[in-house]
Structure 1
Amino acid sequence: MNRYVSLINETVDYIEKNITRALTLEELAEHFYVSAFHFNRIFKTVVGISLKQYILGRKLTQSLERLDHRDAAVIDVAYDFGFEYPEVYSRAFKKQFGISPSVYKKEKNAGVRVEKIAVVERDIINYKGTLVLKESFVYRQAIPLQGRSIEVNRGDESFAVDLNRFGSQFLTETGQYEGLDHNCFFTIVNCHGSEDEGYTVFYGKQTESNNFDQRLTVRIIPEGWYMSFTYRGDMFNIGETFEEDLYRLIMIKEIEIKPIGIGMINIYRADYFQTNAVEILIPVKKRL
């Protein structure tokens, strides 16, 4: 496992075990033998938010369970989760959830919770003093695919369920189709470019012959240069993490994306369900 990812995995577990204490950046940095400056930088790169934000969010989220008990006083909950003053806890609570702790005790309706982070495993390196995603450049021949598409919206509550169901149905239905490579499958993801978070996702398998199945749609992954990355984990956790990683990498290394009508290609090989390893390809302009 990448050393930066491993460090933050250990950090997240340490925070969970000590969530009721007044945890600080300095304490955690000392515990893991890293300077406070670098520790906070590593955490924000791997997780996407600052260490302070994450700890506060987890404290407030876990305090909800205590507040659910009828005899739990707000002042006691504040002290139990390491807040020096109840007023500080109440202000932070209202900022996070939109209501005060006392109102929550009556209504039991809180806003956005901060769940324990699922750290996505990928390769992060130190590039000229800046932490970035490690990329490799590969030249791919054209890959003919046959498959089906679905349109989804990441803002919908059913987003993950709809994609999982569609993907499972595709793999089951095409499992016996002749002329397809069943050792891996692909997804091609295209963003609609609008504010409604709409996507078209094409599920496909590589064609092994020139006989195309009329029940499926043909798509070609064009020949050319691609950036290649390997991620491990649930694809829904990988998605947002990868977007942030890619944006940072492009800005720092000034890499030019090639517009070919394909946003992102995900390759799931035969051992995916055992390893959770996904290869991600992004089309780029010719490498010199």
Structure 2
Amino acid sequence: MDHHEVVERALIHIEERLDQPLSLDEVADAFHLSKFYFHRLFSAMTGISLNSYILSRRLNASLPLIREGRTSLTDIASQLGFGTPSSFTRAFQRRYGIAPSSLRAHLPPLLPVPIPPLVRRPIKNINGDVVADFTLTEFAPMRLSGIVFEVDLASDYEATIRSHSNLLLQELDASVQGPCYVVYSNCQPDSTRFNVLCGIPQELRIEKPFYFTVDVPQLFCAKFTYTGDLLEIGDVLKTDYARFLKISRQETDDSHIELIQRFDDVHDLGSSYHIFAPIQKLPLDSEEE
């Protein structure tokens, strides 16, 4: 089994045993791995520790039991491995912001969610630690033509990014070939607003609002590769980047550009893509990690 298959099977293993004692030792033994390596692998692949994941899934499993109303909260807490009803209530409130008893009163509706899909990306082992595979690379300066807009994390930013990006794609016919870039920039401290550019490295003449030509400077970056919607893997990306900075002992750059996303085919934005995260170029960083 490859790393993705091991963790995917571990997620199923956990889901089928939420009413049984679960520990790092037990889950690691089930896949014939040392607990130390399995813990690093699981955390790297999911962006969350094993114990935190088990807790979240047990709370998720409690939702239909609470709504059905046939089992007391005390029995639900015991059934799902919580030491006491009070520990169950505290964990539930931290997770959902309400007490379990409020859910039983039908306010507000909370529905269980399926096992989260595993974000697929290559990984590598560095000195015994597992991290998302990366390279250190120069992002060449380029001029991008496309659509520029502002989004606010406090609003439905996902819909905003998708709808505005589609405005660009609607202007491109089959004769336009090559990569597409999405640049995330100008995210200020204590602000939920940032700018997004969706463009291509070709000149476009589109006489409509929001269309601009922007020069992206040369940047030294950590490059990652992912499969899946960037807007749905944000937490995993943040964890990957934090682990990369810690293990590689790199520091973020003070560029106004936060991230650059590159799709190799402008007509296939559902494909794998590369993420470029600007970092400081230190004197010894002349070669790929």
TM-score range for the pair, normalised by the shorter chain length: 0.7 to 0.9
Question: What does residue 169 of structure 1 align with?
Answer: 167
- The alpha-carbon distance between structure 1 residues 170 and 73, as it changes in their structure 2 partners (threshold 3 A), is same
**Which residue in 1 is equivalent to 2:261?**
266
- The equivalent residue for 1:109 is 108
Distance 1:273 1:24 in 2: 42
Aligned length: 281
Look up the equivalent residue of 2:56 and give its one-letter code: G
Does residue 38 of structure 2 align to residue 52 of structure 1? no
Matches within 5 A, 1:8-19: 8-19=7-18
Shift in Å, 1:186: 1.0
Higher mean Cα deviation, 128-137 or 230-239?
Answer: 128-137
- Name the aligned partner's letter for residue 259 of structure 2: M
The answer on whether the counterparts of 2:144 and 2:216 sit within 8 Å (CA) in structure 1 is: yes
Which amino acid letter does the alignment assign opposite residue 145 of structure 1?
A: L
Shift of 1:263: 1.9
Q: TM-score, normalised on structure 1?
A: 0.82
Unpaired segments ≥5 residues, structure 2: none
More displaced stretch, 276-285 vs 88-97: 88-97
Amino acid in structure 2 at the alignment position of 1:164: R
Q: 1:67 to 1:217 in 2, by over 3 A?
A: same
How big is the alpha-carbon RMSD for the aligned residues of Structure 1 and Structure 2? 3.1
- In structure 2, how many angstroms separate the alpha carbons of the residues matched to 1:76 and 1:59? 13
1:202 positional shift: 0.6
CA contact (8 A) 2:180 2:266 kept: no
Aligned to 1:73: 72
CA apart distance, 1:140:
4.4
Q: 1:111 to 1:197 in 2, by over 3 A?
A: farther
Quickly say closer, same or farther: Cα 1:15–1:127, change in 2 above 3 A. same
Alignment of 1:149-228 (within 5 A): 149-156=148-155, 158-172=156-170, 174-176=171-173, 181-207=176-202, 212-215=205-208, 216-223=211-218, 225-228=220-223
> What amino acid is aligned across from residue 55 of structure 1 in structure 2?
I
Amino acid at match of 1:190: S
Q: Is the 8 A contact 1:266 1:279 kept in 2?
A: yes
Change in 2 beyond 3 A, CA 1:57/1:115: farther
**1:14 and 1:274 mapped to 2: Cα distance?**
33
**Structure 1's 247 and 103: CA in aligned 2 closer, same or farther, altered over 3 A?**
closer
Deviation at 1:20, TM superposition (A): 3.0
Tell me, in whole angstroms, the C-alpha distance in 1 between the residues paired with 2:185 and 2:233.
Answer: 16
Identity value in percent: 24
Structure 1 counterpart of 2:243, which letter? R
Q: TM-score when scaled to structure 2?
A: 0.82
